[in-house]
Structure 1
């Protein structure tokens, strides 16, 4: 959630230039969605500004959380 908020702010600063990227960010679901967008974000946003997002998403202890519409594995007792 923290990375999503930072990305939203950074893309919002791009104005009309970042409109399509903003739509992609809004469509991204969860951790995997934001990681998949990193190449596009790196093309559009200054590397210094993007470091905080990369630190959050690519940290060794970053936890992958399934997207809200992804099937949840059944727990077998």
Structure 2
């Protein structure tokens, strides 16, 4: 029952953390610095899942970035 409620309320976070743990498990055998990299992957996976759960959109504001790049570097002036 607990797992169903967890899955229903925090689906994105669970997927993000599981993916990060899976990917970081590969790196855990290679040393301390790679373990810190695994922690970074875990944090990124959790944060991306949290944004998905809260429907806050993307972590990167793609539209604003595209508009800024278009005004900054117009290929045909």
Tell me the TM-score normalised to structure 1 length: 0.33
Tell me the TM-score normalised to structure 2 length: 0.33
Rg comparison, structure with higher value: 2
- In terms of fraction of residues, the more helix-rich structure is 2
